Amino acid sequence: MIRNLLKISILAYSLVYGSSLFSQSPSQTCPPNISFSDSGLTHWFAYTGNNRNGNGPSAIVERYDSNKPAPNGTINVYSIAEYTLPVVPGIQVLGSAKIDHFGSFPTVPTINGYKYNFSILLGSTSTAPPNSGDYGGYIRGVSYKFLVPASATNQPYTMTYAYAMVLENGQHKSADQPLISATISTEDSVITCASPQYYLPTYNDANPQDGDATLDSALAEANGFSLSPQLSPHPDPNSPLPNPPHLQDVWFKPWTEVTFDLSPYRGQYVTLTFEADNCVPGGHFAYGYIAIRNTCAGLIISGDSIACLDGSTNYSIPALAGATYKWSVPSNWVINSGANSNSINVTPAADAGFITAREQNGCADLADTIHVSTTTPTVPGSVLSNAEVCSGFNLTTLQLTGNTGNVLNWIGSTNGGQSWTPIQVQTSSYNATNLDSTTIFEAVVQHGFSCAIDSSSPSTIQVDPKSIGGNLLPVNSAYCLNQPINTLLQLNNHVGNIVTWQSSLDSINWSDFPDTDTSYLVNSLPATIHYRTIVKSGVCPLDTSQIANIYLYPAAFPQASIDPADTTICFGTSALLNADISIGTTYFWVAYDSLSGAVSGTIPSDPALVSASALPSQTADYVLEVENPGCPNALADTFLVNVIPPIKVSIVQDTSVVVGEPLQFNAISSDTAQDVWLWSPSSYLNNPDIPNPVARYGGETDSITYIVRATDAYSCYGQSTVSVKIYKTLPDIFVPTGFTPGQGVDNMFRPIPVGISKLNYFRVYNRWGQLVYETTQMGAGWNGIYKGRPQDSATFVWEVAGVDYLGNTIAKKGTVVLIR
C-alpha cells in the first residue's frame, strides 16, 4: 500500500548525507545561513529520491553538495525539483508569507511576537503513479553540519526551530504513517532527549497490504493535528470504483516551536537534517515547513516587557521535547493558563517585577528572566473636527486630541465605514488633501505594544461635488406679436441646487428673480429675453448654466379660424374643411392625402376663406399652416376628420320555403352602436323595422327578394339582400340525378330541402358501399373528391333525412350520376 512520511530530523549521520562543515569562534552566534537568511541553501547539503523500497539512505538518489553551485550543489540555490519531476519544486526557500491551502496558516510564521523572515518548504502534493517505474513516495531533505563553539558547558547554546506540516492519511500502521522527528546527534551517538517524534497515529489494524488502518483521531488532535476542510487533490488509490472519489483525508499541524541545548557538546560537531517523505510505496503526499531562529545564546522569553493593565497578555518560550515547565510572575499578577506549558496567559497587576521561565528534560535545563513593568490602557481620543470641502483641490487638517498612546497610523473610509484604507501617517495631525468623495477618518492608537489597539472617534469630511451649471432647454425659442407665450424652460445635467434664476435683455446685465425650481414657465414676453440659472453644490463655488434665449419678433403672428375643427363622416363620403384667415399671406396643407382643392396658395388680402374637401378612408388629421412675413412661426390648425368604418350587414343566404311555413330572418350589423333597421319591401313580414322579422307566405307568389338596411346615428348605413323561393308543395327534400364537378355549373351535389327545419344527414356511397361524403349542414354538398382524389364517372348511391317545420321526418334514397 501507499505510504506517507514527513520527517524533520536532526541526525548525526553526516557521513551519509555529506553535510557542510563550519567551525565557529567560541561565541554565542549561530552558524551562518542557519535560518536561510541568505535567501538560499548555501551551507546546506540537499538530496532527493524515491522510497519504493523503503526509507533510509538507500532511498537517496540525487545529492546536492553544499560546497558547489548549481546544478549539483546548493551555493546560492533556493529551489530544487522533486526527483524525476523537474517542474515541481521539492525543496524551496520561502522569503514571503502566503497562506497554506490546506492548513490556512502562514508559510513564514510569526510566533508570539518573534518574526521569522524565512522558511524552507520540503515536499509537495505530488505522488508517483502505480504504473510508473518510480512507484513509491518521494523523499527530500537538507542537512547542516557545524561545530558547537567551545565554551563552558554550563553556558547554554540553544537552537530553536518552528515546524508546520500537511499530511495525507494513508490508513497504514503507525510506523508507515506520516512522521516528524527532531534528532540531534554527535559524531558517535544520537541525543535522544532532544529528538521528539510526531506522526498520525492509527490503531495498527491495517490489512496485510498495510491498508485500511483506523486513524486514532483523538490522539492525533491531542498531538496538535486538525482535519483540513479541503479535499485531497488525488483520487482515492484504494477505491475499486472506475472514477474514485477525492477524500477529505488531509491533516495539518500549524506552527510549533521546539528548542534544544547543545552546551554539553561544546567543541563537537553536530548535524541537522530536515527530511520529508511520502509513504512506501507512494500514493499519499506529505510536505512540511521549517523555520529556524537566528539566535543561539540561550532560552529567550517571548512577550512584551511592558504589560498593559486593560487585559491579559501572553509570554512563551520555545518547547523542549519531554520537558517540564515552571513559571514565576510579579506579585499580584495572575497566571490564567499554561503554568505547566511553554506558553502562559497572564493578567498583570500594577506592580512591576520579573517573569522567570524554566524548562527541563533529561538533557537540558534552561531558564530565562525578563523584567516587566505595566502601563495604563490605550485611550484612542477623538479627532477634531468634521468639515465640508469641495471636490478637487482641498485641504483639511485633522487633529487627534485626548489620546493616551502613540498613533500607529490613520485610516479612511469612503463607504460609510464598511471598509477602511490604512494611511501610513504616525503623527497626531493629518492633512487630508484633494479629496473627491466624502471620507471618514480615524486615528489608530496603541499605548505600548501590549495594550489593545483602538481607533479614535471618527471625523467626517463631507466632500461636495463641484458645481455644474448644466444647460437650459430649449436653448432657443421664438415668438411673434400676439402669439400665445408658453415656453417651459427645464434645467438639465446640473450638479448642485439652484440659487436663483436670472434674466437679461442684452445677455450682459442680469437680474435675479426668486425661483429655485428646475423649471420655469415663460407665459409673457414684452421683448426678447435671455435666461440662465445660478447653481451651487455645498461649499463649492457657484456655476452658471448655459443661456436659453426667447426671441420676440415684431411681425404679427398669423390668425385664422377653422370650421369644423372636428367632424365625423361616413366611410366613402367627404368632409368640407373651411378656414377664415385674418392675418397671413400664404398657406399650405401639411397632410393632404385624399384632399381635393388647393393644397397651398397665396392670400392676396385679409381676410380670406380657404376650403378643401377631404375623403379619407380612415380617421385622419389635416393640418393647415398659415405664414406671415417677418414671423418665423407658422400658425398650425388641425382638422380632425373622424371616419366611421363601413357598416356591414350579414344575413343567411338565399333560401326556400313551402306555403304556410314560417321563415325566421336574422340580420347582423358590424356596427357596435344601436342601429335603425328597415326591410324593403315589407311584404309578408311581421315587423320590417327589426333585424329578425318572421315571414309567412301564401300561394300567390313564387319568390321575393328583400333589401335589409342598418343605419347608425350619423346616417351611415350598410345593407344586404336575401331571396326566398316559395314552393307550392308539401315539405320535401329534392335531390338532383346528376352533377358535373369541375365544369363550372352543376359542380356540386347537394340536396334541396323545402320546408325542412333540420337536416339529419346527407350521405353518398360508391358502388363498393364506401361512404365518400356525409354532412348535416343544409346548403353543403359533395364536390366529387374522395380522400383527396377526384372520382371517375360513375353512379353513386345517396340517402338523406330531415325534419320539416311541423316536426315530421322525411327520408329518401336514390342514385346520382357523376359525369366527367
Measured CA to CA, the distance from residue 610 to residue 595 in angstroms comes to 13
CA 474 – CA 489 distance, rounded (Å): 6
Going by the DSSP 8-state scheme, the letter that residue 128 receives in this structure is: -
Q: Over pLDDT 90: what percentage of the chain? A: 70
As given in the structure block, the three cell numbers for residue 174 are 503507525
Predicted confidence band of residue 695 (pLDDT cuts 50, 70, 90): very high
DSSP annotation of 202 reads: B
pLDDT value, residue 683: 93
Q: What is the mean pLDDT of residues 522-549?
A: 96
At residue 287, the pLDDT reads: 95
pLDDT (tens digit per residue) in 344-373: 999 999 999 999 999 988 778 889 999 999
The residue count of the chain comes to 820
SS3 59: helix
**Phi, then psi, of 236 in degrees rounded to 5:** -60, 115
Letter string b/e over residues 675-696, b meaning 16 or more CB atoms within 10 A of that residue's CB:
bebbbeeeebbeebeebebebe
Strands (E) across 615-699 are located at 620-627, 635-644, 649-650, 655-658, 662-664, 668-669, 676-680, 694-696
H or E stretch including 97? none
Task: Give the HSE-up count for residue 475: Cα atoms under 13 Å, Cβ half-sphere.
Answer: 4
276 to 125, 165, 286, 633: CA distances (angstroms):
12, 9, 7, 94
Q: Within 10 A of 526 (CB to CB), how many other CB atoms are there?
A: 7
Write out the H or E segment, with its range, that includes residue 222. Answer: helix 217-222
Higher pLDDT, 263 or 289: 289
- Residue 269 vs residues 14, 390, 740: alpha-carbon distances, Å: 10, 72, 128
Confidence of residue 789 (pLDDT cuts 50, 70, 90): very high
172 φ, ψ (degrees, to nearest 5): -110, 175
259 forms beta bridges with: 160, 320
> What predicted TM-score, i.e. pTM, was given to this entire model?
0.52
The answer to whether the beta carbons of residues 610 and 587 sit under 8 Å apart is yes
Secondary structure of the chain: what % helix, strand, coil (to 5)?
5, 50, 50
Distance CA 88, CA 128 (A): 12
Q: How far does CA 281 lie from the centroid of its chain?
A: 47
Stretch 298-307: mean pLDDT: 88
pLDDT for the residue 133 = 67
262's enclosing H/E stretch is: none
**Grid cell in block for residue 399:** 487633529
Please give the backbone phi and psi of residue 478, each rounded to the nearest 5 degrees, phi first.
Answer: -140, 140
Q: Are 183 and 321 in contact (CB under 8 A)?
A: no
**pLDDT tops 70 at residue 391:** yes
Whether pLDDT at 146 is above 70: yes
Closest listed residue to residue 703, CA positions, set 730, 690, 684: 684
pLDDT tens-digit readout, 115-134: 999 999 999 999 877 666 66
Tens of pLDDT, residues 739-785: 999 887 889 999 999 988 899 999 999 999 999 999 999 889 999 99
Separation between Cα atoms, residue 415 and residue 605, nearest integer Å: 73
Check residue 114 and give its pLDDT. 83
Q: Which helix (H) or strand (E) holds 555?
A: strand 548-556
Question: Does the structure show a pLDDT above 50 at 6?
Answer: no
The confidence score (pLDDT) of residue 365 equals: 87
Residue 393 Cα to chain centre, angstroms: 36
Element holding 654 (H helix, E strand)? none
Instruction: Annotate 166-193 with DSSP letters as a single string.
Output: EEE-----GGGS-EEE--EE-SS-EEGG
Q: What is the pLDDT of residues 698-737, one digit of tens each?
A: 889 999 999 999 999 999 999 999 999 999 888 999 999 9
Per the structure block, which three cell numbers stand in for 683? 311584404
Higher per-residue confidence, 3 vs 372: 372
